[in-house]
């Protein structure tokens, strides 16, 4: 019998697979896709995500499109861009990397660490045997094969077939946000180095972005909040209108050319309201609804929850409760509080006045600009001041990720 079955090899599942291999657990990771596979995403990596990638052994050099970001430009509804600088020469605090390449690098790293990852393997059935006893196990099948494991990690994304097969999906649950993205190449020098965000009046509290990539291209997209008065069905009509807006065209430059058609996908931001565990099954990443409710960033959260689930399984020290209870408790006393704060801030951003005021206050002085950029890119947990258990001596002074000779040399 396996120690662990991991369903899904996106960032959450791959992070869990790497940690499981390092902890000496016997594991099997299955994914219905074949890598490299695309994932509809803005491709933005926060400082939190970057530190997890570094700890997992994934380096910028293994991802060709990786673009380090130092300058962030944010506009409120008046469309005037404010500059926000991230710390320079101290490692990376934000970067953009195509998901097709990043996720492939994570899968390769998992295999290199000793994990078994099977592609083109779709979960077909899953059940918990011995429910309610101390001898619970997971019985699952994929591609006609049966597996039994002591624990499972559901890292199978927004629609989580595991959650559905276990009968835990709430009816009508279609994600808190919905977002569009499309790549453009041949863009202007500014678009290929600086990160742009516009809080457009007709998208609030959502926003419109142009995120730079190293291959002289950008990831352009927008997200809107479900139930905020916007109709998801009308997003398709809104897309050409947004792309024709002069402030975006100006940033993209006259030669910008769209790549493959745009894609759209929902974003689940309901950490603590969707199940985090079920018997011996952990839910991680989008399957746990773990994206930030204000920005829709979920890669860092996927890496963090995937790693956390395995560390709860592997580290039985100090008279802790069961791994499942420890996982729930850690998330409820940390990330879930960050997300409640982010939800409140998203309410401020929902009005023209609130959005403009927030951007103005953030850009008031050099100090507010610097700290806003670091806070926005999750250099430290959003609600760190409200959660003393997470205070560390260097919380506000930590270096970025990949602060070594190679990252300086290659300028990445």
Ligand X SMILES: Cc1cc2nc3c(=O)[nH]c(=O)nc-3n(C[C@H](O)[C@H](O)[C@H](O)COP(=O)(O)OP(=O)(O)OC[C@H]3O[C@@H](n4cnc5c(N)ncnc54)[C@H](O)[C@@H]3O)c2cc1C
Residues of this chain that interact with ligand X (CB under 6 A) are 7-13, 30-33, 39-44, 49, 122-123, 155-157, 161, 179, 181, 221, 265, 267, 285-287, 291, 296-300, 302
Query: Which token pair is 369?
Result: 């600009």
Contact 63, 378 (CB under 8 A): no
Instruction: Report the alpha-carbon distance of residue 306 to residue 313 in Å, rounded.
Output: 11
**Cβ closest to ligand X, residue 265 vs residue 372:** 265
Nearer to ligand X, 268 or 280 (CB): 268
CA distance 343 to 221: 21
In angstroms, give the least distance from the CB of 405 to ligand X: 27
Q: Which is nearer to ligand X, 77 or 298 (CB)?
A: 298
Q: Is 314 left (phi over 0), alpha (psi -120 to 50) or beta?
A: alpha
Which residue, 93 or 356, has its beta carbon nearer to ligand X? 93
Tell me how far, at minimum, the Cβ of 301 lies from ligand X, in Å.
7
Nearest-approach distance from CB 196 to ligand X, in angstroms: 13
Beta carbon nearer to ligand X, 214 or 287: 287
| CB of 123 vs ligand X, minimal distance in Å | 4
Compute the least distance from the CB of residue 181 to ligand X, in Å: 4
Rounded-to-integer distance, Cα 398 and Cα 395, Å = 6
**Could you give the CA distance from residue 151 to residue 131 in angstroms, rounded to a whole number?**
12
Q: What angle do CA 263, 269, 271 make, to 5 degrees?
A: 145
Beta strands in 35-110 (DSSP E): 44-45, 67-68, 71-75, 81-85, 95-96
Which one, 123 or 213, has the nearer CB to ligand X? 123
Count of all residues that appear for the chain in the document: 412
DSSP letter, residue 401: B
| Min separation Cβ 68 and ligand X, Å | 15
Q: Whose CA is closest to 224, among 180, 187, 290?
A: 180
Residues 207/201, Cβ–Cβ less than 8 Å: no
CB of 236 to ligand X, least distance (A): 14
- Judged by beta carbon, residue 63 or residue 356, the one nearer ligand X is 63
Helix (H) or strand (E) holding 278: strand 277-278
Give min distance, CB of 248 to ligand X, in A: 16
Of 23 and 33, CB closest to ligand X: 33
Closest CB 388 distance from ligand X, rounded Å: 27
Cα(356)–Cα(371) distance, integer angstroms: 18
- In angstroms, the Cα distances linking 180 to 87, 250, 289, 316 are 30, 20, 19, 42
Assigned token pair, 328 = 């729930």
> Toward ligand X, which CB reaches closer, 264 or 322?
264
| Minimum distance of ligand X from residue 303's CB (angstroms) | 8
- Choice between 95 and 324, CB closer to ligand X: 95
β strands within 328-396, DSSP E? none
147 membership: H or E segment, kind and range: strand 145-154
What is the sign, positive or negative, of the torsion defined by CA atoms of 292, 22, 7, 13?
Answer: positive
């Amino acid at each position: 019998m396996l120690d662990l079955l991991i369903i899904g090899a996106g960032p959450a599942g791959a992070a869990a697979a790497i940690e499981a291999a390092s902890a000496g657990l016997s594991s099997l990771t299955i994914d219905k896709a074949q890598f490299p596979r695309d994932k509809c995403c803005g491709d933005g990596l926060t400082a939190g995500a970057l530190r997890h990638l570094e700890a997992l052994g994934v380096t910028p050099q293994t991802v060709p499109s990786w673009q380090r970001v130092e300058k962030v430009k944010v506009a409120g509804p008046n469309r005037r861009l404010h500059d926000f600088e991230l710390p320079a020469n101290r490692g990376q605090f934000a970067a953009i990397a195509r998901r097709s390449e990043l996720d492939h690098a994570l899968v390769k790293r998992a295999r290199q660490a000793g994990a078994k990852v099977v592609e083109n393997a779709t979960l077909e059935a899953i059940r918990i045997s011995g429910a309610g006893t101390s001898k619970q196990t997971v019985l699952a099948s994929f591609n006609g094969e049966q597996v039994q494991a002591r624990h499972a990690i559901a890292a199978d994304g927004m629609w989580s077939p595991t959650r559905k097969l276990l009968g835990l999906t709430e009816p009508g649950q279609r994600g808190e946000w919905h977002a569009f993205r499309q790549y453009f190449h041949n863009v202007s020098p500014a678009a290929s180095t600086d990160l742009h965000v516009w809080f457009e009046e007709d998208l609030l509290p959502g926003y419109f972005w142009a995120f730079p990539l190293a291959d002289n291209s950008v990831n352009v997209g927008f997200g809107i909040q479900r139930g905020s008065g916007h109709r998801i069905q009308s997003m398709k009509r809104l897309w050409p209108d947004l792309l024709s807006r002069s402030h975006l065209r100006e940033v993209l430059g006259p030669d910008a050319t769209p790549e493959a058609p745009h894609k759209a996908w929902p974003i689940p931001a309901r950490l603590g309201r969707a199940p985090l565990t079920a018997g011996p099954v952990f839910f991680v990443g989008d399957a746990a609804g773990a994206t930030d409710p204000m920005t829709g960033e979920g890669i860092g959260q996927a890496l963090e929850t995937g790693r956390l689930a395995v560390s709860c399984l592997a580290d039985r020290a100090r008279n802790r409760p069961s791994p499942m209870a420890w996982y729930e408790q850690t998330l409820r006393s940390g990330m879930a509080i960050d997300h409640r704060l982010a939800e409140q801030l998203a309410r401020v951003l929902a009005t023209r006045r609130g959005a403009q005021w927030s951007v103005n206050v953030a850009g008031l002085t050099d100090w507010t600009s610097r700290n806003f950029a670091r806070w926005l890119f999750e250099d430290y947990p959003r609600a760190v001041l409200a959660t003393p258990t997470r205070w560390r001596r260097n919380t506000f002074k930590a270096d970025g990720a990949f602060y070594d000779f190679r990252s300086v040399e290659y300028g990445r």
